[in-house]
Amino acid sequence: MKSLSVRLGVILIGLLILGDAEAWGADWKFIKSDDFSSSYYDAQNIIRPSKNIIRVWIKREFTEEYKRKIKGKHGKEFENSDNDMILLEINCLEKKSRCLSLTVYDNKGKLIWSSSSQTKWELIIPESNSEVIYKAVCK
């Protein structure tokens, strides 16, 4: 009987932890909004693989106008696209960034498309989302 009580207790604790996973997961901080999306970065899960390099997740929630453009450009597969997640790598010393991963989701959270092709390093453009993140994380 004690064994059953212990198991039920462990299950209940597990459900409480999983049920509150968002509180333990990402800490999305608003970056900015434009004609295409509202953008956020995950302040909780920033990775620092070396002294001057930072990796941070970016989440963009698409506007209705941008959703129509995506569907028109990429076809039916993207008709329910809703948001994407980007793993951005920033070189704080050189003020450069590059994309390590891009994943697009539909309005139900289902994966539509994903790529982990690393882009080349580019200078961070003033007043861009990357510059806002650069200023927040490269202190």
What are the pLDDT digits (tens) for 46-93?
999 999 999 999 999 999 989 888 877 887 778 788 999 999 999 999
Of 119, 78, 77, residue with least CA distance to 102:
119
pTM over 0.75: yes
CATH of domain 26-137: 2.40.128.710
Q: Where are the domains of the chain?
A: 26-137
pLDDT tens digits for range 86-133: 999 999 999 999 999 999 999 999 999 999 999 999 999 999 989 999
pLDDT tens digits for range 12-21: 333 333 333 3
The CA dihedral of 27, 33, 39, 41, to the nearest 10 degrees, is -50
